[in-house]
Chains A and B, each alone.
Chain A
Amino acid sequence: MHLLVCGGTSCRASESALIAESLKRELEEKGLGNEVQVIMTGCFGLCEKGPVVKVMPDNAFYVQVKPEDAAVIVAEHVIKGKPVKRLLYVNPSTGEHVSGSGLMGSYRKQIRIALRNCGSINPENINEYIAREGYAAIGKCVTEYTAADVIDVIKNSGLRGRGGAGFPTGLKWEIASKNQADQKYVVCNADEGDPGAFMDRSVLEGDPHSVLEAMAICGYAIGATKGLIYIRAEYPLAIQRLKIAIGQARDYGLLGNNILGSDFSFDIDLRYGAGAFVCGEETALIHSMEGMRGEPTNKPPFPAESGFMGKPSNVNNVETFASVPVIINKGWEWFSSIGTEKSKGTKVFALAGKINNVGLIEVPMGITLREIIFEIGGGIKNGKKFKAVQTGGPSGGCLTEHHLDTPIDFDNLVAAGSMMGSGGMIVMDEDDCMVSIAKFFLEFTVEESCGKCTPCRIGNKRIYELLTYITKGNGTLADLDRLRNMCHVIKDTSLCGLGQTSPNPVLSTMDNFMDEYIAHVTEKRCPAGSCRDLMKYTIIEEKCVGCTACARGCPVNAISGERKEPHFIDQEKCIKCGACFERCKFGAVLIN
């Protein structure tokens, strides 16, 4: 019997390490220390209900476990074989406890390829990875395949880059393989900068060997002997696990000289990012790895021709790499049987925002948004109404209820005015103001623009200012035209992917929620009631009992009125802090 304790970032933050320790202690006390293993795994994907403990082979899925629960799990489940009902996951639609993870709606629609080992193995033990066909694919490559064979398999599989743009991976490898040089590099882009996306982190934390193996396979295919992983310094746990994994792989002869006795040699080093979103762009990433400012340069030359240190380099994202070993093991026919015509396989999405099951999911391409949000995600929090979902982060756009039944793949998302991006999916409900959301993303872009090209550096700042005017109630209809015009100029003239996509959140919210923009500029009203400057607090005379709580709490003395008489808010003085609303026990303060 195994007790799997989630060691992903979210669960760790809720003290899952303490739970693992308590479980071990309980088992020791009962004399079961040798028979039942407690394993810290990578992310299970159901972060909302963390910390998660899974009992195998029973598949019992315990949620929101506390260290104190260790005693009952050991006494009841491990010893008596009776699952602890109160800790089992509850199906939100039926309110019933679910006995096994296989029956959970959030898992039933998923196909886990990139995440195949996350939550199932101990990421700090190479033997567990090997036991699940780990390093079999690199073995197959060096013994049975030529480099060209490997490229053919990846090309035929239809795998496309999971980092954002969806460029065909096999084609990228082929280009890099054709460029002759004394040294080539395989680069793994683990600079996950899209706020709200955390799939790369989960793969690296939960299954680091899958990425190492894939990089070696890529090295074999393109003729490179060196691999570099560019990872965010903000991901200490992922860095630690990668270091352990690289050390173990070297000890086993799976990295280093003459891998598995062949004449292929390959080794991997880490390079640290330092918090710059633009470094997700491959030319900027390469400059950053060279110790410089992470500013992008014009393509061509593409990294496949002249990349790291001027040598041909192949850059792929973590999730793309994580899919590679399975494709080699199971064959391209299997992989290309999943998904849609032009987007094969699966995609990992980080589901977050106003949704019941925040977490990481992996679904076949072609699934609909409805299935993701209402079946896997368990619907909107607090029974609110679904409004939109932002995909593709600051480079993407929003999808609304009109798109709920559109099959999701690279091309359909672009057609709908958004993009796949790295796979962040932020769900918004009726309380979210779309103008504010656009402003939020632009604030991010302004901060992250590297400043090299003018349209991005200055243009985005101007857009941000216009959006600020609008959310403060100072915008005009002419501003909306100006806004749209400027967005197109920035898209057309920026140097790199950051500027070429940064206006997308504005354009897409304008396309889908123009009525909200118009309400802000003509009626000076925020339909979602979220823009503070457009709010108006008033006191309903009939409800006010004159307790004076609001007047005493008002920081600017804007509220007047005698004790036991209805009170009044002076709109000139009011700073819209909401203190009166929070203090009123009689529901007499109205927000408009």
Chain B
Amino acid sequence: MSSIKIELRKEDVDKINEICDSFGNEQSELINVLHKTQEHFGYLPAEIQEAIASKLNIPVAQVYGVVTFYSFFTMTPKGRHPISICMGTACYVRGAEKVLDEFKKELSLQVGQTTPDGKFSLSSLRCVGACGLAPVVLIGEKTYGRVAPDDVQDILKEYQ
């Protein structure tokens, strides 16, 4: 399922059980459980999915099927400064692809990857609804609007 192997500590398992309990261990609440779990751990590795499956009493395959279906869920940890470039249509026609290329070049990263030091991760997303500021880049909670490829170096410097 994933190349990363982690060992869950007891408190981690307790946390997962607590989240499942808070949704009444309802199988139909799986997506809400995954949201809460990812919010806590930052990502959903295989081991966490197994713990959720056993607690909700459903096959791991079902959990895995849901995790991989939705783009919001990730099985690899995000960087400390996750960079998301909006590739919605409005941003695209205003040059988002060139901005994305610049980030790829500056960080030597592909979309979906995290830098080895765990500092930055790169992803593209579809429309954040701030089309007036297109092209839009999000780093963590911060929004950068009307980004040009030339701005990329300066933006990254803020996180050095």
Chain A residues near B (Cβ < 8 Å): 9-10, 13-14, 46-50, 192-198, 201-202, 233-235, 271-277, 288-294, 309, 350, 352-354, 358-359, 390, 393, 424, 426, 428, 432, 437, 440-441, 444, 450
Interface Cβ pair total, 8 Å cutoff: 128
Q: Are B65 and A274 in contact (CB under 8 A)?
A: no
A271 to chain B, nearest CB (A): 8
Cβ contacts under 8 Å, A273 to chain B: 70, 72
Report the Cα distance A196→B125, complex, angstroms.
Answer: 12
Partner of B89, one of A47, A195, A358: A195
Question: Taking A10-B133, A196-B127, A276-B69 as contacts, is the C-beta distance between A432 and B93 under 8 angstroms?
Answer: yes
Cβ contacts under 8 Å, B134 to chain A: 352-353, 358
Q: Are B72 and A234 in contact (CB under 8 A)?
A: yes
Question: Taking A197-B127, A291-B31, A440-B92 as contacts, is the C-beta distance between A14 and B133 under 8 angstroms?
Answer: yes
Answer whether residue B108 sits at the interface, using C-beta atoms and an 8 A cutoff: no
Report the Cα distance A441→B143, complex, angstroms.
Answer: 25
A-B contact pairs, 18 of them (CB 8 A): A9-B130, A10-B131, A10-B145, A13-B130, A14-B133, A46-B132, A193-B126, A195-B90, A198-B127, A272-B31, A274-B72, A288-B31, A289-B28, A291-B28, A293-B65, A353-B89, A424-B89, A441-B89
A62 to chain B, nearest CB (A): 16
Report the Cα distance A253→B35, complex, angstroms.
Answer: 30
In the complex, given contacts A47-B130, A293-B65, what are 16 additional A-B residue pairs having Cβ atoms less than 8 angstroms apart? A13-B143, A13-B145, A192-B129, A194-B127, A198-B130, A275-B72, A289-B28, A291-B31, A294-B69, A352-B89, A354-B93, A390-B89, A424-B89, A441-B89, A444-B126, A450-B69
Report the Cα distance A50→B130, complex, angstroms.
Answer: 10
Q: Are B143 and A274 in contact (CB under 8 A)?
A: no
Report the Cα distance A444→B132, complex, angstroms.
Answer: 21
Report the Cα distance A432→B89, complex, angstroms.
Answer: 12
Report the Cα distance A293→B87, complex, angstroms.
Answer: 24
Chain B residues near A (Cβ < 8 Å): 26-32, 34-35, 62, 65-66, 69-73, 87-90, 92-94, 125-134, 136, 143, 145
Cβ contacts under 8 Å, B143 to chain A: 13
Q: Are B130 and A274 in contact (CB under 8 A)?
A: no
Report the Cα distance A578→B133, complex, angstroms.
Answer: 25
Partner of A358, one of B62, B125, B131: B131
Report the Cα distance A232→B128, complex, angstroms.
Answer: 11
A348 to chain B, nearest CB (A): 13
Question: Taking A293-B65, A293-B69 as contacts, is the C-beta distance between A196 and B130 under 8 angstroms?
Answer: no
Cβ contacts under 8 Å, B70 to chain A: 273-276, 294
B71 to chain A, nearest CB (A): 4
B31 to chain A, nearest CB (A): 5
Interface centre among B71, B93, B129 (most CB of A within 10 A): B129
The 10 tightest CB contacts between A and B, nearest first, are: A47-B132, A198-B129, A274-B70, A352-B90, A195-B88, A291-B30, A13-B143, A196-B89, A352-B131, A275-B71
Report the Cα distance A275→B128, complex, angstroms.
Answer: 12
Cβ contacts under 8 Å, B71 to chain A: 274-276
A324 to chain B, nearest CB (A): 23
A61 to chain B, nearest CB (A): 15
Measured CB to CB, the nearest residue on chain B to A15 is B143
Report the Cα distance A143→B61, complex, angstroms.
Answer: 51
Cβ contacts under 8 Å, A393 to chain B: 89
Cβ contacts under 8 Å, A272 to chain B: 31-32, 35
Measured CB to CB, the nearest residue on chain B to A431 is B93
Partner of B90, one of A275, A288, A426: A426
Measured CB to CB, the nearest residue on chain B to A351 is B131
Q: Are B126 and A195 in contact (CB under 8 A)?
A: yes
Q: Are B132 and A274 in contact (CB under 8 A)?
A: no
Report the Cα distance A284→B136, complex, angstroms.
Answer: 29
Q: Are B32 and A9 in contact (CB under 8 A)?
A: no
Report the Cα distance A554→B45, complex, angstroms.
Answer: 43
Q: Are A292 and B89 in contact (CB under 8 A)?
A: no
Report the Cα distance A450→B70, complex, angstroms.
Answer: 10
Question: Taking A274-B31, A290-B28, A291-B66 as contacts, is the C-beta distance between A9 and B90 under 8 angstroms?
Answer: no
Cβ contacts under 8 Å, A432 to chain B: 93
Partner of B132, one of A10, A290, A441: A10
Report the Cα distance A433→B29, complex, angstroms.
Answer: 44
Question: Taking A288-B31, A293-B65, A440-B92 as contacts, is the C-beta distance between A50 and B132 under 8 angstroms?
Answer: yes
Q: Are A353 and B130 in contact (CB under 8 A)?
A: no
Q: Are B133 and A13 in contact (CB under 8 A)?
A: yes
Report the Cα distance A9→B71, complex, angstroms.
Answer: 21
Question: Taking A10-B133, A201-B129, A426-B93 as contacts, is the C-beta distance between A195 and B32 under 8 angstroms?
Answer: no
Cβ contacts under 8 Å, A196 to chain B: 88-90, 127, 131
Report the Cα distance A197→B131, complex, angstroms.
Answer: 8
Report the Cα distance A291→B70, complex, angstroms.
Answer: 11
